[in-house]
Amino acid sequence: MTGAYGGVISPAADASARDRWRALALTDPVSRLVRNAAHAGIDDADYDLRLLALAAVDVVVGSMGFAREATLDDVVDELTGLASRMCPGRPDQARDAAQTVVRGLLNDAHDQRRFSYRFADLGAPGETVRWESYSFRLLSLREAEYGPVVVASDQAVTLFLNGLDVDLEDADRALAHVLQRQLDDRRFDAAARTAAQAERTSVGMSATLAELLDATRRDVGSHDWEQEVPERLVRARRHVEARIGEDDRLLEHVQSGLDAETSPEVRAVSGRIVDLIGRARRVHLDLERRLVGAREVFLTAQVRQRLARRRRLRMLALRDEVLVPVLALPRPVAVAVTTAFADRALGVSVPRLVRFDDMVDMLWAPPRARESAEPDVEIVPDVDEAHDVQRYPEPVVGAAREVLSAVTGGEEIRLSALLDAVPDAASVDAEIDEGEVAELVLLSALWAFAPDVVAEAEGDVAGEIDVLAGGIEARRDDRLLARSGVGGPDLLVRLRGGRVVEAADPLDDESEPVA
């Protein structure tokens, strides 16, 4: 490596210039955030932002490598606490100060990119200067399974925890510092104590579980397997799951302390913890094996000792047993109930996933264009309505209308009387078929007696009947209608809304007129 000063100052200064320059550069982001804080309304006189920056690194380093690392919220909360002690008069501003510091260390002003500085490598005298870029992070965000966590870079750890005169790029060294710091913080002791405590809990749980299972084998009713035992099993399972995960993480972390170059003290403690965790782990695994088989023991015992009863799904009163109670629940509980209910009631729902390009294509799909400019129009041949075989000829309709017009006087007229008037009305024109007129009058009266409301609403009614029957209504008469081809009681026809001459007896013959 060419000396930074090209040997012009002193060989000693030259040799370490680059490293010392880097150490210097590493502190610059802190200075910068202090300068910029004024823009955010944070007064340097009120808060020691440098100390807050140091504290941020300390908080982060304290938990790095453990099962639960510091989340962004943890760090901001911690700094907010410190900041509010610095300026008790402005509790509202403490959080802003904490955010400013964390944002500064994340280089938020430049979208959390690396801090970048240029080092002038002077080289030998006479050579042109070579500019070297040096970029680094102090804090950065990673996504962990429980949310975004903050991690400190090796440079941040080395510089902020152990002063300036060190090799900043040595990751092993950084790890050693982290372990040393955690040892000093007595975090190892705490972790060892927790592990030992967890081991004792597991031993206790194992013993109770063994007893419980023996009792169940003898008598399935000896313990409450509906509520109490499952709860206990869940508790034990959670304990084991948590411990095994935690211990693995700690073991890995501490093991790396044995592998890296660390102080004898760290190595000794690490060794002790590795032994302790190994033993605790066996206990946890043993408990786990018992837990896995526990339910089976109960089921076997139950089948052997009792007849399995079929459980029937109860009928629910949706309003009183589901909706009303759910409305009274707090939101999180209500969501759980509603989700469970909806899942059962609505069946499987498929989670929708996205693919970036497909999503954009879908959103930006061009509006659908018509394939051909002029759609083919289907040509319907003209229909001569006058010769529609389904319709009654106009003179017939006219004659029927005349017959029915007898009701316009307001009186009720018997259908038989109307039918009697048909021959007269039909006689005015030789073309009129008397039978057709009679049929039309009869059908109109029947329609007036029992209109097909649905067909009427859908417009599915033969025009003539609608027209003729539209204004009249009919009710049953107690006499019988005696006509060829027509049977049943006679009808009393009147103008719709007209006067009722005699009260109908509801107990009358129920039979309807039949055509």
Partner 1 sequence: MSSVAADLTQVRAAAELLGFALARRARPVEGGQYRALLDRYRSELGFKDVVDTMAEGLGLEVLGVPRSGMVLAPEPGGAFATRLADLRTTMDADDRLVFGLVLIGVAAFAYPTDADFDDPETRLVEIVRVDEFIRGSLDALGGLGGVEGSPEERARAAAQVYADLPQLITTQTGRRARGCTLKAVEEVFGWLVEQGAAREAGTLGPDTFHLTDRFRLLVADSAGGAALDALRDVRSAEVASS
Instruction: Name the residues that contact partner 1, by CB under 8 A.
Output: 67, 72-73, 76-77, 99, 102-103, 106, 108, 110-113, 137, 140-148, 241-246, 248-249, 350-364, 366-367, 369
Nearer to partner 1, 358 or 460 (CB): 358
Shortest distance (Å) from residue 246 CB to partner 1: 7
Shortest distance (Å) from residue 196 CB to partner 1: 19
Q: Which residues contact 169 (CB under 8 A, 6 or more apart)?
A: 154, 155
In what helix (H) or strand (E) does residue 335 lie, and over which residues does it extend?
Answer: helix 331-346
Angle between helix 228-259 and 187-218 (nearest 10): 150
Residue 294 tokens, joined = 């526990």
Angle between helix 11-37 and 154-162 (nearest 10): 100
Shortest distance (Å) from residue 235 CB to partner 1: 15
Nearer to partner 1, 31 or 339 (CB): 339
Shortest distance (Å) from residue 241 CB to partner 1: 4
CA quadruple 324, 325, 326, 330: dihedral sign:
positive
Shortest distance (Å) from residue 394 CB to partner 1: 53
- In 3D space, the residue among 310, 304, 311 whose CA is nearest the CA of residue 221 turns out to be 304
Pairing of strands 139-144, 130-136: unpaired
Helix (H, G, I), strand (E, B) or coil at 295: helix
Nearer to partner 1, 241 or 321 (CB): 241
Nearer to partner 1, 347 or 506 (CB): 347
Query: b or e along 137-149 (b: 16 or more beta carbons within 10 Å of the residue's beta carbon)?
Result: bbbbeeeeeeeeb
Half-sphere exposure of residue 169, counting CA atoms within 13 Å on the CB side? 7
Nearer to partner 1, 144 or 455 (CB): 144
Q: What Å distances lie between residue 173 and 157, 161, 181, 311, CA to CA?
A: 10, 11, 12, 63
Residue 472 near residue 444, CB atoms below 8 Å: yes
Shortest distance (Å) from residue 138 CB to partner 1: 12
Query: b or e along 309-339 (b: 16 or more beta carbons within 10 Å of the residue's beta carbon)?
Result: eeeeeeeeeeeeeeeeeeeeeeeeeeeeeee
Shortest distance (Å) from residue 293 CB to partner 1: 18
Residue 21 near residue 113, CB atoms below 8 Å: no
Nearer to partner 1, 11 or 367 (CB): 367
Nearer to partner 1, 283 or 396 (CB): 283
Shortest distance (Å) from residue 96 CB to partner 1: 9
Would you say how long the chain is, in residues?
Answer: 515
Nearer to partner 1, 154 or 490 (CB): 154
Separation of alpha carbons 51 and 129, rounded Å: 37
Shortest distance (Å) from residue 240 CB to partner 1: 8
Nearer to partner 1, 287 or 441 (CB): 287
Separation of alpha carbons 446 and 460, rounded Å: 17
Nearer to partner 1, 60 or 213 (CB): 60
Shortest distance (Å) from residue 89 CB to partner 1: 22
Strand order in the sheet with 472-480: 413-414, 489-495, 472-480
Q: Which residue has the tokens 């802190």?
A: 30
Question: 133 forms bridges with which residues in the sheet?
Answer: 118
Nearer to partner 1, 13 or 109 (CB): 109
Nearer to partner 1, 39 or 355 (CB): 355
Separation of alpha carbons 165 and 168, rounded Å: 9
Residue 474 tokens, joined = 């009919």
Nearer to partner 1, 162 or 256 (CB): 256
Shortest distance (Å) from residue 279 CB to partner 1: 18
**Residue 486, φ and ψ in degrees, nearest 5:** -130, 135
Question: 71 forms bridges with which residues in the sheet?
Answer: 149
Pairing of strands 413-414, 147-152: unpaired
Shortest distance (Å) from residue 259 CB to partner 1: 20
Shortest distance (Å) from residue 229 CB to partner 1: 22
| CA-based max dimension of the chain | 140
Separation of alpha carbons 183 and 195, rounded Å: 16
